[in-house]
Amino acid sequence: MKTVIQRVQSAAVRVDGEVVGSVGRGFLLLVGVEVGDTEADADATADKVLRLRCFPGRTPMDETLDDIGGGCLVVSQFTLAGSVRKGNRPSFTSAEEPARAEELYQRVADRLAACGVPVATGRFGAKMQVELVNDGPVTFLLFVRGGRVREVVHGASPDAG
């Protein structure tokens, strides 16, 4: 499972011009589900998001989502499973079939909500427009496989330490 985590001041997703989900301060999560991803991967993704200390407190990267009372906008993005390695047209053979992908994407959102995080979502399979005010900017790439975090790659503003 691949997830782009963006620290935001606010984020919203629209379908056909209608806002279907929005949050204030917190995270925008773009979740890509790949063939072979499991419930354990969805749970590990949500758990990492819950524990991620990347909001300013005593230090620039100190507080969690819970510490700041933040929310999550969770949006499915199958293109994260795409590959541009060969040719000029992306290949999506690594993307999970839609029914299973929706189940696992929704599991991430549900687990976050079960832990008390205000959660909004996009509309699975719809053509969506996502708007955000990135805070920092701070963006992380989270890769989970086999129920374990495999890698977290980050980019942060120069004042983030």
Tell me 9's DSSP state: E
Reply yes or no on whether 59 is catalytic: no
SS3 category, 79: helix
Considering 78, 139, 140, 143, which one is annotated as catalytic? 78
Residue pair 42/106 in contact (Cβ under 8 Å)? The answer is no
Helices (H), the chain: 39-51, 65-68, 98-114
Residues 88 and 126: their CA atoms lie apart, in Å, by 24
140 is catalytic: no
Q: Which of 9, 59, 79, 129 is catalytic?
A: 79
- Strands 26-32, 2-15: pairing kind: antiparallel
Choosing from 77, 121, 139, 140, which is the catalytic residue? 77
Tell the burial category of 36 from Cβ atoms under 10 Å away from its Cβ (0-12, 13-18, 19+). Answer: exposed
Residue count (the chain): 161
Nearest C-alpha neighbor of 2 from the set 46, 27, 32 = 32
Residues marked active site are found at 77-79
